[in-house]
Amino acid sequence: MAQDRFGRHIHYLRVSLTDKCNLRCVYCMKEDMVFQPSSALMQDDELITLIRVFAELGFDKYRLTGGEPTIRPHVVDIVREMNQIPGVDKITMTTNGVLLPELARPLHDAGLQRVNISIDTLDPVKFKKITRWGTLDTVWNGILAAEEAGMTPIKLNAVVVRGFNDSDDVINLAALTLDHDWQMRYIEMMPFGDVAGFQQAQVVTDAEIRATIESEFGPLELLDDGKLDGEARLYRIRGAKGAIGLISSVTHPFCASCTRARLTAEGVLRLCLLRDKEVDLLTPLRAGATVADLKQIILDGVWHKPWGHGLARDVIPVSRVMSQIGG
């Protein structure tokens, strides 16, 4: 079992399959983003070897992410192989949904249980402005394909950016929960590396998001006594089928209940999304480290997992942006 020095049991791994993406969201990366050569990333066999080691250490929950995980070559085979590893209980994915019309069913058949799909607005013109390269129709079809394939409950993620999607868009997305048993989750924008200036200037807090939703639908009902679902606090619009989730990583971090670590596409263990502390696993693996060596490196890394982020004191992660960590 992997435990940190604060007594937190770490058993949830977010695995980045690639740093590359088929979109260029304004809050995530620059349009001329430069990516790693494929040789610098974990190859399929290396990825599976490392997951086996994590599973033996008690990591049972996995979320595939990126970059855009669906553009990783052999993604369906990777899911199938991961699903056969003893100890791997749950595999989910965070995706922009663009390729789900083709991939939802094969991914689900291979063992992917659920997807979180990013959709920041229902306005096609704004959608293009935020994602730069995306079209709303494709992502909408991706959501429907995921639901049809049985990857339920569907969870949708919106990052709220001032001046882009902070008013009508928040309301229209919330209205989806009236008729759909979906969870609509709003994420406070976090600052990273060379896009931090933009991110800090345009951040919208969970209190503001909630007030916007309540201005249209009336007071939200708190669900599960405020207990977090992952990182989201859940609410419901009166009479709605689905739920609203508020993810307030910036204003109300959930560090005390954190159970997660991240494996970047370059095979580096990142102990906290918002802290630069990392431990390289791929270099030792390529140098011939044994399973026992790798286990020790992971346990030592987890032990030193930072307690929480330092955004309130302007300590911003600088070594990587979100797509290079695995959001």
Q: Which of 2, 15, 17, 21 binds ligand SF4 (CB under 6 A)?
A: 21
Q: What's the helix, strand, coil split of the chain in %, to 5?
A: 40, 20, 40
Q: Which of 2, 15, 25, 103 binds ligand SF4 (CB under 6 A)?
A: 25
Least Å distance, CB 121 to ligand SF4, is 13
Contact status: 273 vs ligand SF4 (CB under 6 A): no
Contact status: 112 vs ligand SF4 (CB under 6 A): no
Q: In this complex, which beta carbon is closest to ligand SF4, that of residue 28 or of residue 250?
A: 28
Q: In this complex, which beta carbon is closest to ligand SAM, that of residue 110 or of residue 158?
A: 158
269 vs 324: CA distance, rounded Å: 12
Least Å distance, CB 244 to ligand SF4, is 21
Least Å distance, CB 64 to ligand SAM, is 9
Stretch that binds ligand SF4, among 25-33, 168-176, 191-199, 230-238 (CB under 6 A): 25-33
Selection from 1, 67, 129, 23 nearest residue 324 by Cα: 67
Chain-centroid distance, C-alpha 229: 14
SS3 call for 69: helix
Contact status: 128 vs ligand SF4 (CB under 6 A): no
The site map against ligand SF4 for 160-179 (x = CB under 6 A) is --------------------
**Torsion angle of C-alpha atoms 104, 108, 111, 115, degrees rounded to 10:** 60
Task: Specify whether the CB–CB gap between 250 and 203 falls below 8 A.
Answer: yes
Least Å distance, CB 65 to ligand SAM, is 5
Task: Specify whether the CB–CB gap between 246 and 186 falls below 8 A.
Answer: yes
Torsion angles phi and psi, residue 160, rounded to 5: -95, 125
Q: In this complex, which beta carbon is closest to ligand SAM, that of residue 8 or of residue 155?
A: 155
207 vs 131: CA distance, rounded Å: 25
Least Å distance, CB 325 to ligand SAM, is 8
Q: Which of 17, 67, 119, 305 binds ligand SF4 (CB under 6 A)?
A: 67
Q: For 87-226, where are the E strands, in sequence order?
A: 90-95, 114-118, 155-160, 183-188, 221-222
Q: Tokens 């994420």 sit at which residue?
A: 187
Secondary structure element (H or E) that encloses residue 232, with its range: none
Contacts for 141 with CB less than 8 Å, ≥ 6 apart = 100, 101
Which residues form the interface with ligand SAM (CB under 6 A)? 21, 27-28, 65-66, 68, 94-96, 118, 157, 159, 187, 189-190, 192, 199, 322-323, 327
How is residue 26 written in tokens? 């304004």
Selection from 50, 2, 24, 37 nearest residue 286 by Cα: 50
Q: How many residues are listed for the chain in this entry?
A: 327
Contact status: 66 vs ligand SF4 (CB under 6 A): yes
Least Å distance, CB 271 to ligand SAM, is 18
Pairing of strands 183-188, 243-247: parallel
Least Å distance, CB 70 to ligand SAM, is 8
Least Å distance, CB 32 to ligand SF4, is 13
Pairing of strands 114-118, 90-95: parallel
Contact status: 323 vs ligand SF4 (CB under 6 A): yes
Stretch that binds ligand SF4, among 4-12, 64-72, 139-147, 273-281 (CB under 6 A): 64-72
What is the binding site for ligand SF4 (CB under 6 A)?
Answer: 21, 23-25, 28-29, 66-68, 96, 118, 323
